[in-house]
């Protein structure tokens, strides 16, 4: 099993505390009277409110999306506090980061789980990416819902590798595992749809490179094995008729493809990227927002970008432990998870209607999980009053356009 407690970073020294990230280890060695804000990741069922007070600290916001809370502690108490057996890991609270932003934007997903009972159970989500780690505690399942499929202790029912042809699960980049945690984490990182069945399809190598042929094969494989939602965090500059044919087959089979916009900060209206720029309505293009809800500077925009979601400095699963990553890939994972909640709530609804509900209920162009589920069920989580917010969204042509046939290089944009 992987150790979820140790934040990974390069240059870790033997004197560093294993539960503290680089910044907290640095601050722990500074003046003991200084104060530091940190995100404390807690083990399931644990509370540290009493320990925070004893350490001379202050308790802050308790997160619903991740199992933890915000605290303020004296620098001299950081290491001692991390020794507490209830503490799994501690991360410095980066004031300009995106971890708090995504909590607010997708809070509705937690309400959907807790108040309506929908967690994605019975829905297959393919992660067409760099693979998935062989084991992670956050991808297990401890519940009793018969719809949740578990194989060898993990909610990962199959794995296929179009890059190296290996049969055992692995991720030599970590990107696919990070995406999986945003969608389906069920522990220290609580994904938006922790009941989904995962189907990792490896089409990217360790250096994040692949090709259109592998991607087309991966889409066909995912659809053939029952995935309704395909998360495709892959981008390339050249169109391929082979890839578009696979997208059409997926669309005809009732699947939806969530495609990241890419991280070049460019206008896709002038310079397309694929698969997001294909016109098929089954393709949902996702851009990224920053910590302030604005379009992230790195996010592509323009034609083909239908919706946005948080993508700056997102905390999720790593191959070993937890990791922060930024990119439209992270944003795409939030959208895929929201679609899984919709599909679990309305399992007979066609993919096109799930897509329309997702886009119709976006607020200021950003995903709103609670509103999307309400749109397909008529049920509203009543934890607190919600204002009705709608945003216009891009529409795609229902006519397939011809594209040049090519076996082109596809690179993942993170």
Just list the catalytic residues: 129, 175, 329
Q: Phi/psi of residue 60, each to 5°?
A: -120, -155
Residue 259 and residue 327: Cα distance in Å, rounded?
12
Rounded Cα–Cα distance for residues 51 and 135 (Å): 32
Closest among 386, 381, 372 to 341, alpha carbons compared: 372
* CA–CA distance, 389 with 242 (Å, rounded to integer): 39
- The residues that bridge with 154 in the sheet, in sequence order, are 151
Q: Of 379, 293, 309, whose CA–CA distance to 370 is shortest?
A: 379
Query: What is the rounded CA–CA span in Å between residue 193 and residue 183?
Result: 6
**How many other β-carbons are positioned within 10 Å of the β-carbon of residue 395?**
10
Could you give the C-alpha distances from 9 to 22, 24, 273, 312, 315, in angstroms and in order? Answer: 7, 12, 32, 18, 14
């Amino acid at each position: 099993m992987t150790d979820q407690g140790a934040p990974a970073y390069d240059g870790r020294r033997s004197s560093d505390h294993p539960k503290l990230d680089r910044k907290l280890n640095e601050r722990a060695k500074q003046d003991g009277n200084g104060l530091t804000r940190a995100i404390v990741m807690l083990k399931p069922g644990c509370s540290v409110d009493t320990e925070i007070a004893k350490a001379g600290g202050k308790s802050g916001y308790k997160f619903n999306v991740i199992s933890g809370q915000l605290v303020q502690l004296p620098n001299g108490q950081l290491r001692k506090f991390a020794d507490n057996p209830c503490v799994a890991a501690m991360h410095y609270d980066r004031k300009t980061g995106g971890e708090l932003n995504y909590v607010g934007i997708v809070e509705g997903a937690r309400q959907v789980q807790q108040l309506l009972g929908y967690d994605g159970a019975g829905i297959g989500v393919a992660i067409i990416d760099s693979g998935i780690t062989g084991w992670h505690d956050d991808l297990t399942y401890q519940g009793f819902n018969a719809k949740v499929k578990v194989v060898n202790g993990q909610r990962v029912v199959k794995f296929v590798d179009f890059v190296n042809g290996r049969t055992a699960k692995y991720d030599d980049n970590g990107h696919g595992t990070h995406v999986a945690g945003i969608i389906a984490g069920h522990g220290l990182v609580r994904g938006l749809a922790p009941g989904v069945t995962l189907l990792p399809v490896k089409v990217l190598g360790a250096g994040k490179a692949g090709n259109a042929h592998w991607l087309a094969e991966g889409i066909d494989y995912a659809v053939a094995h029952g995935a309704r939602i395909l998360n495709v965090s892959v981008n390339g500059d050249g169109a391929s008729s082979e890839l578009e044919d696979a997208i059409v087959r997926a669309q005809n089979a009732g699947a939806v493809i969530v495609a990241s916009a890419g991280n070049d900060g460019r206008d896709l209206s002038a310079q397309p990227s694929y698969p997001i720029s294909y016109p098929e309505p089954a393709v949902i293009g996702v851009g990224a927002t920053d910590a302030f809800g604005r379009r992230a500077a790195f996010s592509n925009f323009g034609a083909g970008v239908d919706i946005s979601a948080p993508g700056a400095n997102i905390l999720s699963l790593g191959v070993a432990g937890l990791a922060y990553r930024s990119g439209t890939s992270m944003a795409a994972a939030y959208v895929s998870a929201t679609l899984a909640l919709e599909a679990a709530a309305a399992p007979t609804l066609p993919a096109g209607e799930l897509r329309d509900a997702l886009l119709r209920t976006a607020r200021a162009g950003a995903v709103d999980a609670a509103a999307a589920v309400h749109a397909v069920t008529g049920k509203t989580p009543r934890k607190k009053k919600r204002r009705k917010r709608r945003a216009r969204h891009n529409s795609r042509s229902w006519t397939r356009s011809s594209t040049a046939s090519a076996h082109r290089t596809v690179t993942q944009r993170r």
